[in-house]
Amino acid sequence: TSTFNGYAKAVTGERMRRWHGLQIREVTPSLLRDWVSEMDCTSKAIRNMLTPLRSLFEDALNDEVIDFNPFERIALSKLIRQTAKASDYVVSPFSTAERLALLDACRPDEHPMLQFWFETGLRPGELQALLWSHIDWDRCIARIELNQVAGVIKGPKTAAGVREIDLTPDALAALRAQRPMSEAKGQRIWLNPRTGEPWHTDAQIRKTLWLPVCKRSGVDYRNPYQVRHTYASALLTAGANPWYVASQLGHEDVEMVFRTYGKFIRDDYQKPKPELRVVGKN
């Protein structure tokens, strides 16, 4: 649903008006190159606009409406890198004092969810979709099998997103505190305290819980995804293996951990380990 909405926004947006009134045969590689070069947005936004447009040309080529696909005659990836402006999003984890202030500002019916989130670093949609049946109390793990995006529950965004995460004593304590508030109401663990119903969207959490808690705590506002960044950076600062952190976050490889959280990784994990030898008695 969210992907469809993104493409629909791209197709009906102001930038797409550049092609209104043109026949598909009139679109040349140079026109496409000039159009992309004029875009003042991030690479993700550019790709979201190009994806449905490229699909149109691929269909036209397959149906022999056009003789060639103009997208195939421009170095698109290089052009996007040269054109796109850098994202202004900043990874800004909460300090220990800020985290404690946020938790102290929670009402009793808000505290367990925020405590659990800080202890697990789940994506917002994974947190929303977590079920009581996903908790293995004996092994102290949670199985991440579902993700909720724009109110639709589906599998995680990548194969690596299906995973088991370790639950700390504080995470388990948060679950125990939540049990009397939600276990009898259904499978979903985390509910909107105002309605007693499952969360539907990230925006709902931000407006209903996150913004009020930030205001009451006096902590400078950052978007709630910084909870995930706080989890990752805290592990790395404490010396956790980046490969372990990547597996807990649900990343396909460790590259994103190094790229996003490199400054939090201790030097001894960036150097190759010396080879260990077993020396016999002789």
pLDDT for res 197: 95
Which sequence spans correspond to the domains of the chain? 2-83, 96-267
Q: Which residues of 96-128 are buried (b: 16+ CB within 10 A; e: fewer)?
A: eebbebbbebbeebbbbbbbbbbbbbbbbbbbb
CA 98/CA 214 separation, integer angstroms: 10
CA 264/CA 271 separation, integer angstroms: 15
Report pLDDT digits (tens) over 218-245.
999 999 999 999 999 999 999 999 999 9
pLDDT for res 267: 66
| 77-81, 151-155, 267-271: the lowest-pLDDT one | 267-271
Q: Do domains 2-83 and 96-267 have the same CATH topology?
A: no
| CATH number for the domain formed by residue range(s) 96-267 | 1.10.443.10
pLDDT > 50? residue 272 = no
φ/ψ of 175, rounded to 5, equals -65, -40
Which pair of structure tokens corresponds to residue 209?
């819980």
Please say whether the structural domain 2-83 has been given the CATH code 2.120.10: no
pLDDT for res 274: 45
